[in-house]
Structure 1
Amino acid sequence: MYLSACIEWLFKDENPHFPDRIRAAKAAGLESVEFHLWNDKPIGEIRTALDETGVQLSSFCVEPRRSLVDPAQHDEFLAAVAATIETAKSLGRPPLVIASGFTREGVSLDEQRAEAVKALRQAAALAAAAGIILILEPLNTIVSHPGMYLSSTTLALDIIEEVASPNLRLLYDAFHSNVMGEDMEDVLKGRIHLVHHVQFADNPGRNEPGTGTIDWTATVAKLRALGYDGGIGLEYLPTMPSVESIAKSREATGL
């Protein structure tokens, strides 16, 4: 496993100029970074910083965010996927993160799932043509994202299996899953091959590992036992200077 700094938050206080966060991550001994939205960022300068440092980009989000479960938004969603893919082509073709959008009142969950599958099949075809992987992220509805349709890891994996494209995989966020009361081993057992990226933040607080109640030694051991050996995104709000925060994360996780 390897660590990827979410530079949306890490190194932010020390480096207001976004591309400098890539250089700071490299100086801190990290070889991978990720961030959220892209349209507000200097893409050319980011590309220069990645080339200069050799740091890899592990993910960023499809933007603008649109609903998977509302067919009225599907054209806009697919346009967003296409635009984000074009940006990703200049940044090493990293995986692109997709969330579901909000539950539609008065519409059956089965119908919403069918719409999500339809939209994701079309998006996965666009990604396949570009040699890019899309990663679907369930988000918690208790603390951070009330009303979100996709909050269940099991449902996300069911949808991914139904879409049946190698260009659609899961982003498993341990914080969101923990908030939702999921047992990581139960929801990922036998399906770890569908997981492309994992993110860590402690609960409560969404801060660095070691500040909350999650047993990170056990979490890492279970991920290894399940067969996961990919990136671990440090997607949290640091409570201390970033270099110290990453050191604390390493100590808590053993990574």
Structure 2
Amino acid sequence: MKAVPRRFAVNCSILFTGLPLLDRPAAAKATGFDAVEFWWPWPGEPVPSTAQVDAFCKAVEDAGVRLIGLNFYAGDMPAGERGVLSDPSRTDEFRDSIGTLLYIAERTGVRSFNALYGQRLDGVAPADQDRTATRNIVHAAHQVARLGGTVLIEPLARGLNGAYPLETAAAAVAVVERARAEGAADVRLLFDAFHLTTNGDDLHKAAHEHAASIGHVQIADAPGRGRPGTGGIDFPGLFAVLDDIGYDGWISLEYVDPSPDFTWLEPYRTKDR
């Protein structure tokens, strides 16, 4: 066996929040990371200005980091929204935003894109929302396929994200499978340890059952969404399971830490193979 590196990235929408957004890629680099991911950088703005988009791309480029993940437009997340995919009245808004996402992808090389499903709406039948979401996921998948991109579908923690219907790995994989059945090129599960644990999923069981569908991994401890070691998740066991199922993609740190401290990470940067 030889030691090979695990690939860790920093989510700069939730870490380094004491800094302006465009300063965070450089902060990640200065802390020893070569890769970052972001939520949609412009809450409530499906089509930001060219100047805004260029400034974002330049911040990533100037920092010398790789952008490995980016959320699709998800509405106004600070106001509580969690995606617009499943809202029939916002299909144009969602699809109009994809041009910006593709521009960022062409410029930075990012190829993994998280599509938040959206909350249940009063007065709209869940079946209608699900049909709308499937159509929008398929459309998005076809758009990013031109660049070899992947659409990710993520469960979110119950009680923290409004009436968000995807709570388990199985629920998200059912959405993935519906989109694939409708011709989506590449749609996969975003396996987030915090959200799944909060909702009662067994991480080891879910990872084994859905190994073929996992396209990306994010981690935070639970409860609390702090850095590993602040809650109850067995991270050595989780990393061993990811190794066991052959996952060799990025593991993104998506947790709350007002004074980021990454010393906990050192024992996990390498694995034997």
TM-score class, shorter: 0.7 to 0.9
| Pair 1:206-2:225 in alignment | yes
TM-score (norm 2): 0.81
Judged with a 3 Å threshold, the aligned counterparts in structure 2 of structure 1 residues 91 and 168 are, in CA distance, closer, same or farther, namely: same
8 Å Cα contact 1:217/1:254 also seen in 2: no
The structure-2 alpha-carbon separation of the partners of 1:84 and 1:17, relative to structure 1 and needing over 3 Å to count, comes to same
Matching of residue 8 in structure 1 with residue 13 in structure 2 = yes
8 Å Cα contact 2:111-2:148 kept in structure 1 = no
List aligned pairs for 1:119-158, cutoff 5 A: 119-142=136-159, 144-158=160-174
Q: Distance in 2 between matches of 1:107 and 1:171?
A: 26
Say whether the 8 Å CA contact 1:198–1:231 is kept in structure 2: yes
Structure 1 residues 113 and 189, CA gap change in structure 2 (3 angstroms):
farther
RMSD: 2.4
User: Structure 2: 5+ residue runs without aligned partners?
Assistant: 1-5, 76-82
Whether the 8 Å contact between 1:200 and 1:236 is mirrored in structure 2 is yes
Pair 1:67-2:84 in alignment: yes
- Taking structure 1 as reference, are residues 52 and 75 closer, same or farther at Cα in structure 2, changes over 3 Å only? closer
Does 1:159 pair with 2:178? no
Deviation (angstroms), 1:162: 2.2
For residues 29 and 181 of structure 1, do their structure 2 counterparts lie closer, same or farther at Cα, with a shift above 3 Å needed?
A: same
The superposition leaves residues 191-239 of structure 1 with CA deviations (integer Å, 9 ceiling, x where unpaired) of 3232121111111111100111111111111111122111111111115
Matching residue's letter, 1:187 = A
1:22 pairs with 14, 20, 25, which one? 25
Please tell me whether the aligned partners of residues 190 and 218 of structure 2 are also in contact (alpha carbons under 8 angstroms). Answer: yes
Return the offset for 1:61.
1.5
Amino acid corresponding to residue 216 of structure 2 in structure 1 = H
| Corresponding position of 1:85 | 102
When the two structures are superposed, what TM-score results if normalisation uses the length of structure 1? 0.86
Cα distance change of structure 1 residues 187 and 115 upon mapping to structure 2, 3 Å threshold? farther
Secondary structure (helix, strand or coil) at the match of 1:59 reads strand
What is residue 38 of structure 2 aligned with on the other side? 35
CA pair 130-237 structure 1, distance change in 2 beyond 3 A: same
Match of 1:217 in 2: 236
Q: How far has the Cα of 1:69 moved from its partner?
A: 2.5
Identity of aligned residues (%): 29
